[in-house]
Amino acid sequence: MAIRWGICSAGRISHEFTVALKTRPAEEHQIVAVAARNLEDAEEFSRKHNISKAYGGYEDLAADPDIDVVYVGVIHPYHLEACKLFTNAKKNVLCEKPLVMNAKEVKEILDSAKKNDVLVMEAVWTRFFQASVEIRRLLTQQYIGAVKMVRADYGVPLLNLLREPDGALLDLGIYCLQVINVVYNGEKPESIHVSGVCMETGVDETVTVILKYSRNRMATFTCSVVVKLRNDAIIVGTEGKLQVLSPMWCPTKMLVLRKMSQNPEPESFYTINLTNIPGNRCEADEVRYCLLNGLKESPVIPLAYTLLLAEIEEEIRRQLEVAYSQDCQ
């Protein structure tokens, strides 16, 4: 059974998602329509991707009876408005990350989805990479013993590409938090300590965060939009460690080290060569799986995880004194 998609926005990220989706079998996924704020952009997008219907407004997309799920690719300050438009029209939604700007808006979308009995999923593609699958498998097997520490870094010079209110946390730190959240299985940290530097505009430039979890487990991450960092992640356990090699957001290798005795250094290691499958294609397959099985949330990205990450990000911004206009609404 083919899942029928509508594409909301004709921008770059919607283009990338559409290209990835069209690599899947037509009997599994079909793109029915695209909508943009003006009809000319939608029509150009539809011609480029051979999509039969183009709308000059998102309301028309919401009203299309031939659509099962909408991919929301508008810029994130407008995610709340777009997602609620589609959920209220009883359309399932895959929304590009970050889902919205703060925890209050996450709750609004989740309430709308529940009221209208539809699926909402945040498009966090790192959840579907083979590295994430391998991490979950090895941790379930306690291959490196009890995890005690997670460290992740993501820094890329992006100042010339940023659009307000983008900053290091919203654009890059979310990937680090996702790794930590996978490792600690959606647990809420006991404490959060933050230090960072903000630009003259008030947007965060470089941020370092220390999180303490139950049973004396720790995590730390640094994100920056001005310098390139190691862009990897390390998970350290009592019997070894896992290292997701750079680039962390699209890894092709993972190093696994394991102690074989009480010696301080691991005695064995091996490298996992990871398949670089487009994450947005995997997101689409997850949506299809959920819809075919009557699920209103993804087991890979539970809605509780999405809300928790929004709450953590909100606390980080509070300590940095970074505020969005949406916080005051």
Secondary structure of 5-35 as H, E, C letters: EEEECCCHHHHHHHHHHCCCCCCCEEEEEEE
Q: At what angle do helices 303-320 and 103-116 cross, to 10 degrees?
A: 160
37-41, 85-89, 250-254 — which is least confidently predicted?
Answer: 250-254
Model confidence pLDDT, tens digit, residues 290-319: 999 999 999 998 999 999 999 999 999 999
Model confidence pLDDT, tens digit, residues 74-101: 998 999 999 999 999 999 999 999 998 8
SS3 label, residue 86: helix
- Same domain assignment for residues 171 and 294: no
The closest alpha carbon to 257, from 236, 274, 275, 273, belongs to 236
Domain that holds residue 152: 130-276+312-322
117 torsion bin: left (phi>0), alpha (psi -120 to 50), beta (else): left
**Which residues in 288-300 are b (16+ Cβ under 10 Å) and which e?**
bebbeeeeebbeb
The CATH number covering residue 293 comes to 3.40.50.720
- Same domain assignment for residues 253 and 223: yes
Return the residue matching tokens 């099962």: 68
Distance of CA 263 to the CA centre of its chain: 38
Q: Is 104 inside any structural domain?
A: yes
Question: In DSSP terms, which residues pair with 242 in a beta bridge?
Answer: 235, 256
- Same domain assignment for residues 83 and 166: no
Model confidence pLDDT, tens digit, residues 159-181: 877 776 778 998 899 999 999 99
The number of domains in the chain is: 2
Model confidence pLDDT, tens digit, residues 214-244: 999 999 999 999 999 999 999 999 999 999 9
- Same domain assignment for residues 11 and 157: no
The pLDDT of residue 49 is above 80: yes
DSSP letters, 138-195, are HHHTTTT-SEEEEEEEEE---TTT--TT--HIIIIIHHHHHHHHHHTTTPPPSEEEEE
Average pLDDT, the chain: 91
